[in-house]
Structure 1
Amino acid sequence: MASSERIFVQAIRRYCARHGIAVDVRAGGWLIAMHLGEERRFAFGYDIGLNSAIAHRLANDKSATAEALALADVACIPHHLFLNPKLGSNVVGPAWRDDMLKQLHDHPQGVVVKPNEGTSGRSVFKVTMEAELDHAIGEVFAMSTGLVISPYVAIEDEVRVVLLGDVPLVVYSKQRGTDWRHNLDAGAKPVLLEHSEVRTACARLATNAARAIGITFASIDVVCVDGDWRVLEINSGVMMEALAKLHPELVQATYDAALDRVFGEAS
């Protein structure tokens, strides 16, 4: 097993070795084929193959997730979608920049600009003035067909819940360092939550969010703002690279449970 492989790939290799499942790792580990008898199952990126296509697409689209959660009356942070003007005026419309400026003016405390799709806090900007907005727009649209604008809120705590069905397998808070973001790639540290009111509240909210978009295996980020918990985003791919450095057995057990579901469905 190559030590440079992602934890996700290593976990799948371990599971398959224990269960007599052949593994074929391609594309530098981003595509994994698993063979059991006549059945072939795939993992792609950090997606283990349990979610429907529509649930996967909703989760990967921050604006669509927010809209679906609002329809289900699940508390969430709004994400307003703006398409890249390079797509053409017939698609984007002429007033896209004015609409962005209205978002900024409506939220004097600032807004957050980020790609509509993507993870790990890349190309995420806190904006409080028009010049910063123009910079953020240019950076995000240089690498994305769409961006979202959210009101900046003072996040008191952020918790990630890894769900399999209605079962919260992992619940941990993200303790940020000097950065204003709670992303693990930005230096935040995962701290497991034991049985508590906070853990129960976050797990309940995450479960409601997962049901709202019909997703089976996901990591769901919830944030506390003014004492209330809201969904920030849903991730169809379950990435636990940072957590595995501290709790490798828990991470392996979580992927094992998901793979049990995968091959249970295959049998």
Structure 2
Amino acid sequence: MPTNRPYLSLIQQSVKNDGVTFEEITPNYLYKAVMNEKSFLMHDVEVGLNNSAAAKSAMSKSGTFDLLQYFKIPAVEHVFLMNNRSRFSQSNSFHVAREFFIQSNEKVVLKQNNGSQGSNVYKITSLDSLDQSLQALFDLQMDATISPYYEASFEYRIVTLNGEPMLWLAKERTTSWKHNLISGAKSIDVPQELLPQLSELAEQAAKALELNFCTVDILETSDGLRVLELNEQVMLDEYCKNNTERQKKVSKVYREALLARFNTL
């Protein structure tokens, strides 16, 4: 039965003319992708081009920064704050967070360490707010991460496949300080003059994390372009919603990704 999720349907339809079919296991969630004698499990929109270690590293904001720093790639600093209730906790995360807050001119971003789509993300400008927000994250049984706040109007997202940039988009803040499209940011075209620099940075970041199919988010800061995070799942539903030309671009990217996955079998 075809999925009724528009974005997932777009992905599945991208390889319709290549003879690929999808056998439903769990509606709108788990599918078996089949082409001739080859098949693989497709989990949500995940096509399985990334190994599990790479995917888990990308899910951690602080882990991603540590890897990028190791490879000397410009990135927005993220410091890990382990939940104080964890049996593995060996330091006071509130103390670490307060020190970082003061060192960062009392303006930081606090978020869950493995978050996505702007959920549980706080802009912090006071110690009281820092303590309250960090406690709120810990109460949700989450670890956290803290980073400097940058006054950046634009954030760029680059989709890479096997180390090659495939799609570029820019997100402009509007009513919110966040760059998430789901939170109201505006999707615009990337200036042509930035494409070479963004592409090189995205290639380096994807290679550092050993991600074969991902999105690389890059922030334009007063210190130049810096990698903010990498996403092991390529989610572009808000980008291409109600836009035929963008849907064609996303479809092309996913077609190549799905065929690349079959070529690994």
Output the aligned Cα RMSD. 1.9
1:168 aligned partner: 165
> Within 1, Cα distance between the matches of 2:168 and 2:93?
39
> Within 2, Cα distance between the matches of 1:14 and 1:138?
44
Using structure 2 for the length normalisation, give the TM-score. 0.92
> Within 2, Cα distance between the matches of 1:181 and 1:157?
10
- Does the alignment pair 1:151 with 2:155? no
- Does the alignment pair 1:41 with 2:40? yes
What is the total number of aligned residue pairs between the two structures? 262
1:205 aligned partner: 201
- Does the alignment pair 1:98 with 2:95? yes
Q: How does 1:107-256 map to 2 (within 5 A)?
A: 107-193=104-190, 196-226=192-222, 228-245=224-241, 246=243, 247-256=246-255
Q: Is residue 39–residue 262 contact of structure 2 (8 Å, CA) maintained in 1?
A: no
Give the residue type in structure 2 aligned to 1:136.
S
Q: Report the secondary structure of 2:55's partner residue.
A: helix
Q: Would you identify which runs of 4 or more consecutive aligned residues in structure 1 move more than 6 Å?
A: none
Per-residue CA deviation, residues 31-56 of structure 1 (Å, 9 max, x unaligned), is 22212344331222332211111111
Segments of structure 1 that go 5 or more residues without pairing to the other structure are: none
Give the residue type in structure 2 aligned to 1:242.
E
Per-residue CA deviation, residues 102-160 of structure 1 (Å, 9 max, x unaligned), is 11121224111001112100010011112211221133223343110001111142100
Specify whether residues 140 and 27 from structure 1 end up closer, same or farther in structure 2 by C-alpha distance, changes over 3 A only: farther
> Within 1, Cα distance between the matches of 2:48 and 2:170?
26
Specify whether residues 25 and 119 from structure 1 end up closer, same or farther in structure 2 by C-alpha distance, changes over 3 A only: farther
> Within 2, Cα distance between the matches of 1:146 and 1:63?
10
1:5 aligned partner: 5
> Within 1, Cα distance between the matches of 2:167 and 2:181?
15
Q: Report the secondary structure of 1:85's partner residue.
A: coil
After TM superposition, give the deviation of residue 11 of structure 1 in Å: 2.5
> Within 1, Cα distance between the matches of 2:32 and 2:125?
46
> Within 2, Cα distance between the matches of 1:111 and 1:27?
41
> Within 1, Cα distance between the matches of 2:141 and 2:204?
29
2:86 aligned partner: 87
Q: Is residue 123–residue 139 contact of structure 1 (8 Å, CA) maintained in 2?
A: no
Give the residue type in structure 1 aligned to 2:132.
H
Q: Is residue 243–residue 251 contact of structure 1 (8 Å, CA) maintained in 2?
A: no
Give the residue type in structure 2 aligned to 1:163.
T
After TM superposition, give the deviation of residue 220 of structure 1 in Å: 0.5
Specify whether residues 132 and 28 from structure 1 end up closer, same or farther in structure 2 by C-alpha distance, changes over 3 A only: farther
1:57 aligned partner: 56
After TM superposition, give the deviation of residue 99 of structure 1 in Å: 1.2
Q: Report the secondary structure of 1:145's partner residue.
A: coil
